[in-house]
Amino acid sequence: MKVLIVGGGGREHAIAWKVAKSKSVSEIYCAPGNAGIEQIATCVPIGVMEFEKLADFAVKNQIDLTIIGPDDPLVGGIVDVFEERGLRVFGPRKNAAIIEGSKAFAKELMKKYNIPTASYETFDNADEAEAYLEQSKFPIVLKADGLALGKGVLICNTLEEAKEGVKSIMLDKHFGAAGNKMVIEEFMTGREVSVLAFCDGTNILTMTSAQDHKRAKDGDQGLNTGGMGTFSPSPFYTKEIDAFCQEHIYRPTMDAMKAEGRAFTGILFCGLMLTEDGPKVLEYNARFGDPETQVVLPRMKNDIMEVMEACIDGRLDQIKLEFEDNAAVCVVLASAGYPESYEKGKVISGLEAFQDKDSYFVFHAGTKKTEEGIVTNGGRVLGVTATGSNLLMARQNAYEATSWIQFDNKYMRNDIGHAIDEA
């Protein structure tokens, strides 16, 4: 089988690595890919939003299956374009990817189908949003409706901050058209957990749990980022919590999407908050998480192609997902200054230390091959990942491996997995 992966970050490197282990795969292509993916796949310089060019490439190269990594092309309808051309593709159609593409849609769906989430109101007018804030409790959460690189969420402690937030989202359009509408919702407290699931339109099979660290600095301080590190499994996601979520969140979400004529096929990512009143949905994503994928896929025993094919063919009920009884931790090595401004083009050394090691992985995110060698080419540069027999071992191994890599302005959080000590 010939497989094309669309995307070029750490998530796509982890997907490519897992796809490469499949018995049925003979060749892997990735558009646009990165310097790490290039070591296991043929990278093609086509952008993720160039749907027709990607589809032309798939036809010309007789690609058997295309896997879509990022949110933008999914929300933009890449799956529909591929399907119209008779191409096999893994991911939700545009009418289902809206579960990530519009926070207002996701919230209305949860309300209509009684799926537990924070209480909220939707606004398309800044004056009305401000009037609502006048009689709200703080802290409160403001969310731009559309995609905003994971950064369209503002947690506001005071009325003044919240009014400033409404202005920046709806009037100054800080997140562009994503801010034409906004959701204002109740602030929740608790542990966060990410649960990713394979979906075939009807059936949903969840993978092992993970936890992300969204803030840039130690102690969960600093700005929100794409994710600075992850661990899997979450020790707080117990069997009882899982049973509750299966019954009240995952199954009802699948049924709701089907009932709305938006059957969901692909990866559904449920961002959960484990509150005192039980688990509630923070957000849905219509794709694999980044960097959750980097800790979940190295623990998965199944041949990923078999699972993806079952999703597309609507026979996920015949699959049993299996995960190793171990743990994994991913520490993101970033460029100092991320998520604001940072320098690129720094030569990276030490990558070869990961070769031939079964339980250590270096997933590339922002890297590029040049005449000088592999250089930094983004805010998040590498996802250094290690497995271990338990979370403590995995964390120790991952941090040990971060010292193998050097580049100027290397930055990482030193407390990824701090919650492990509180479990």
Nearer to ligand GLY, 200 or 290 (CB): 290
Site for ligand GLY in 173-212 (CB under 6 A): 212
Question: Does the footprint of ligand AMP cover residue 236 (CB under 6 A)?
Answer: no
Out of ligand GLY, ligand AMP, none, what residue 153 binds, judged by CB under 5 to 8 A for its kind, is: ligand AMP
The pair of three-digit structure tokens given for residue 118, joined into one six-digit string: 């924070």
Question: Does the footprint of ligand AMP cover residue 77 (CB under 6 A)?
Answer: no
Question: Does the footprint of ligand AMP cover residue 146 (CB under 6 A)?
Answer: no
Tell me the H-state helices in 169-249: 239-245
User: Residue 215: beta bridge partners?
Assistant: 224
User: Distance between CA atoms of 221 and 61, rounded to whole angstroms?
Assistant: 47
Out of ligand AMP, ligand GLY, none, what residue 227 binds, judged by CB under 5 to 8 A for its kind, is: ligand GLY
Out of ligand GLY, ligand AMP, none, what residue 327 binds, judged by CB under 5 to 8 A for its kind, is: none
- The distance of closest approach from Cβ of residue 419 to ligand GLY in the complex, given in angstroms and rounded to an integer, is 15
Q: Site size for ligand AMP, by CB under 6 A? A: 14
Q: Is the dihedral of CA 247, 253, 255, 256 positive or negative?
A: positive
- The distance of closest approach from Cβ of residue 120 to ligand AMP in the complex, given in angstroms and rounded to an integer, is 8
Question: Does the footprint of ligand AMP cover residue 153 (CB under 6 A)?
Answer: yes
Nearer to ligand AMP, 16 or 281 (CB): 281
Question: Does the footprint of ligand GLY cover residue 383 (CB under 6 A)?
Answer: no
**3-state SS class at 138:** coil
Nearer to ligand AMP, 143 or 299 (CB): 143
Tell me how far the alpha carbon of residue 118 is from its chain's centroid. Answer: 21
DSSP string, 246-314: IIIIIHHHHHHHHHTT---EEEEEEEEEEETTEEEEEEEESS--TTTHHHHGGGB-S-HHHHHHHHHHT
Which strand (E) or helix (H) includes residue 20?
helix 10-20
Q: Which of 50-58, 251-259, 286-294, 377-385 is the region at the interface with ligand GLY (rule: CB under 6 A)?
A: 286-294
Which strand (E) or helix (H) includes residue 130?
helix 126-134
Question: Does the footprint of ligand GLY cover residue 12 (CB under 6 A)?
Answer: no
**3-state SS class at 245:** helix
Kind of pairing between the strands at 27-32 and 2-7:
parallel
To which residue do tokens 């190269």 refer?
A: 61
User: Distance between CA atoms of 280 and 190, rounded to whole angstroms?
Assistant: 10
Out of ligand AMP, ligand GLY, none, what residue 192 binds, judged by CB under 5 to 8 A for its kind, is: ligand AMP
Closest CA to 384 of 407, 373, 32: 407
Question: Does the footprint of ligand GLY cover residue 266 (CB under 6 A)?
Answer: no
- The distance of closest approach from Cβ of residue 11 to ligand GLY in the complex, given in angstroms and rounded to an integer, is 7
Question: Does the footprint of ligand GLY cover residue 260 (CB under 6 A)?
Answer: no
Nearer to ligand AMP, 29 or 231 (CB): 231
Closest CA to 106 of 292, 253, 267, 255: 253
Q: State the residues that interact with ligand GLY by CB under 6 A.
A: 150, 212, 227, 285, 289-290, 292
Q: State the residues that interact with ligand AMP by CB under 6 A.
A: 118, 141, 150, 153, 155, 185-188, 192, 214, 271, 282-283
